[in-house]
Amino acid sequence: MSLLKTIETNPSFAPRESSPLPDRLISGNPTFKTWAQDVARGEIVHTGVWEATPGETRSIKGETFEFCHILSGVVELTPENGEPVVYKSGDSFVMKPGFVGIWKTIETVRKIYVTVM
Protein backbone atom coordinates (compact mmCIF):
# COMPACT_ATOMS: atom_id res chain seq x y z
CA MET A 1 0.00 0.00 0.00
CA SER A 2 1.39 3.37 -1.02
CA LEU A 3 1.53 6.20 1.46
CA LEU A 4 1.14 8.71 -1.39
CA LYS A 5 -2.36 9.33 -2.75
CA THR A 6 -3.19 11.54 -5.74
CA ILE A 7 -6.67 13.07 -5.54
CA GLU A 8 -8.40 12.96 -8.92
CA THR A 9 -10.20 16.30 -9.37
CA ASN A 10 -12.24 14.93 -12.31
CA PRO A 11 -12.76 11.31 -11.27
CA SER A 12 -13.66 8.78 -13.95
CA PHE A 13 -15.82 6.67 -11.60
CA ALA A 14 -19.44 7.35 -10.66
CA PRO A 15 -20.08 9.52 -7.59
CA ARG A 16 -22.40 8.83 -4.69
CA GLU A 17 -25.35 11.17 -5.24
CA SER A 18 -27.37 12.66 -2.40
CA SER A 19 -29.37 15.67 -1.26
CA PRO A 20 -29.55 17.57 2.02
CA LEU A 21 -31.46 16.17 4.95
CA PRO A 22 -34.88 17.88 5.14
CA ASP A 23 -34.03 19.56 8.48
CA ARG A 24 -30.84 21.03 6.93
CA LEU A 25 -32.40 22.45 3.74
CA ILE A 26 -33.00 26.21 3.83
CA SER A 27 -33.70 27.07 0.18
CA GLY A 28 -33.33 25.78 -3.35
CA ASN A 29 -33.04 22.18 -4.45
CA PRO A 30 -29.32 21.41 -4.13
CA THR A 31 -27.89 18.03 -5.06
CA PHE A 32 -24.56 16.62 -3.94
CA LYS A 33 -22.02 14.32 -5.59
CA THR A 34 -19.23 12.70 -3.62
CA TRP A 35 -16.24 10.93 -5.11
CA ALA A 36 -14.67 9.33 -2.02
CA GLN A 37 -11.05 8.56 -2.82
CA ASP A 38 -9.23 7.58 0.37
CA VAL A 39 -9.87 6.48 3.92
CA ALA A 40 -7.12 6.28 6.52
CA ARG A 41 -6.53 5.76 10.21
CA GLY A 42 -9.35 3.23 10.47
CA GLU A 43 -12.17 5.39 9.06
CA ILE A 44 -11.04 8.56 10.88
CA VAL A 45 -9.65 10.47 7.86
CA HIS A 46 -11.64 10.72 4.61
CA THR A 47 -10.47 12.43 1.41
CA GLY A 48 -12.16 13.03 -1.92
CA VAL A 49 -14.00 15.44 -4.17
CA TRP A 50 -17.47 16.85 -3.47
CA GLU A 51 -19.80 18.88 -5.68
CA ALA A 52 -22.99 20.80 -4.88
CA THR A 53 -25.52 22.63 -7.04
CA PRO A 54 -26.94 26.00 -5.92
CA GLY A 55 -28.98 26.20 -2.74
CA GLU A 56 -28.70 26.91 0.99
CA THR A 57 -28.22 24.41 3.80
CA ARG A 58 -27.33 24.39 7.47
CA SER A 59 -23.80 23.12 8.01
CA ILE A 60 -23.21 21.40 11.33
CA LYS A 61 -19.75 19.88 11.77
CA GLY A 62 -20.23 18.30 15.19
CA GLU A 63 -16.88 16.71 16.13
CA THR A 64 -15.60 16.70 12.53
CA PHE A 65 -12.68 18.83 11.30
CA GLU A 66 -12.87 19.59 7.55
CA PHE A 67 -10.31 21.14 5.22
CA CYS A 68 -11.71 22.33 1.86
CA HIS A 69 -10.01 23.53 -1.32
CA ILE A 70 -12.38 25.03 -3.90
CA LEU A 71 -11.68 23.76 -7.42
CA SER A 72 -14.55 25.62 -9.12
CA GLY A 73 -17.67 27.59 -8.26
CA VAL A 74 -18.57 30.05 -5.52
CA VAL A 75 -19.90 29.51 -1.99
CA GLU A 76 -20.79 31.81 0.87
CA LEU A 77 -20.38 30.52 4.43
CA THR A 78 -22.00 32.36 7.29
CA PRO A 79 -20.99 31.14 10.74
CA GLU A 80 -23.72 31.25 13.36
CA ASN A 81 -23.64 34.81 14.80
CA GLY A 82 -20.95 35.75 12.26
CA GLU A 83 -20.43 37.57 9.00
CA PRO A 84 -20.63 35.87 5.56
CA VAL A 85 -17.38 34.83 3.89
CA VAL A 86 -17.19 34.09 0.14
CA TYR A 87 -14.89 31.36 -1.21
CA LYS A 88 -14.19 30.74 -4.90
CA SER A 89 -11.91 28.70 -7.13
CA GLY A 90 -8.42 28.50 -5.63
CA ASP A 91 -9.48 29.32 -2.06
CA SER A 92 -8.96 26.99 0.89
CA PHE A 93 -10.51 27.00 4.35
CA VAL A 94 -11.13 24.88 7.44
CA MET A 95 -14.37 24.26 9.30
CA LYS A 96 -13.36 23.26 12.82
CA PRO A 97 -15.27 20.91 15.13
CA GLY A 98 -18.33 22.69 16.49
CA PHE A 99 -18.83 24.87 13.38
CA VAL A 100 -22.49 25.71 12.77
CA GLY A 101 -23.63 28.01 10.00
CA ILE A 102 -25.16 28.47 6.58
CA TRP A 103 -23.57 26.98 3.44
CA LYS A 104 -24.88 28.85 0.38
CA THR A 105 -23.77 27.51 -2.99
CA ILE A 106 -23.97 30.47 -5.36
CA GLU A 107 -22.44 28.72 -8.41
CA THR A 108 -22.11 24.94 -8.59
CA VAL A 109 -19.07 24.21 -6.45
CA ARG A 110 -16.52 21.42 -6.59
CA LYS A 111 -14.02 20.99 -3.78
CA ILE A 112 -11.35 18.67 -2.48
CA TYR A 113 -12.16 17.72 1.11
CA VAL A 114 -10.26 16.14 3.95
CA THR A 115 -12.31 15.28 7.02
CA VAL A 116 -10.99 14.09 10.35
CA MET A 117 -13.61 12.60 12.66
User: Structural domains in the chain?
Assistant: 17-116 (2.60.120.10)
Average pLDDT over residues 43-69: 97
Residue 1: predicted pLDDT: 63
pTM attached to this predicted model: 0.95
Give me the amino acid identity at 84. Answer: P
pLDDT in tens, 23-38: 999 999 999 999 999 9
The pLDDT assigned to 16 comes to 98
